Structure 1
Amino acid sequence: MNEAIAMIRACMIALQDRQKSYADPKHRYVEFQVGNHVFLRISPMKVIKRFGKKGKLCPRFVGPFEILERIVEVAYSYEALDMQQDLSYEEKPIKILDKKEKELRNKMIRLVKVLWKNGSAKDATWELETDMMEQYPQLFRYAEERATTGD
């Protein structure tokens, strides 16, 4: 019985070594330096809404974040996010980039293009003006002030 167990263990070790030899060439070891910019992966949970979207349309990465210091070999400190317990966070809008009206069957809806805090201009999204005005009225006050000053 002991000989059979030893033989099975030897076969399992051989199989593990073979699988490791297949996986190792594909593995990349990446090291970051202070000052580099990185994206952070968000855990994909189906129930949590991020950026007002859920499921497939929810972004998988956030950032870029600048690395401030290297703590240990695989741990880095970076600009902090206000993360909740479920690893989600609320994305905050910075400013309104553009406005437009879209005609639906028998009514016009007003849209605004919003630049988000942890995104670039290409990641800006079109949102309903009424929803944004309800949630973030300060954005519209700022946009009105800029329009009156001619900036």
Structure 2
Amino acid sequence: MVLLKVSSWKGVIRFRKQGKLGLRCIGPFSVIARVGKVAYRLDLPAILSQIHNTFHVSQLHKFLVDDTAVVPLEDIQVDDNLNYIEWPVAILGCKSKDMRNKKVELVKEQWQHRNGLKWTWEPVDEMTEHYPELFQD
């Protein structure tokens, strides 16, 4: 499996965005055959049928499958606005941060995330407003 570099295809086909937000690579595509010493033939989908399917190795990037990047659909929870939902599990610590003219109280929250557990520093008043069950002690 390889990714196909498309950032150099200026006038051929435009893939979604233009400029610095444009795609650099598309894919992954499976390799059908090796053509010569430095070219490969790819199995392209029908939407790319107007492109020749043989590419130089400089236009290909190895596609490494990362099992942690694959998310089972049943593990994803979204709200009404289609935002991914994460929820706090525990409070790990607290600290006070001095700003120029005020003091901000922060708590270190541990979050349940699709890749395991992670933590962030959040303002106390914001956390007590959204998750009062964590502050009942």
**TM-score, normalised by the number of residues in structure 1:** 0.45
**TM-score, normalised by the number of residues in structure 2:** 0.49
Greater strand share, structure number = 2
Greater helix share, structure number = 1
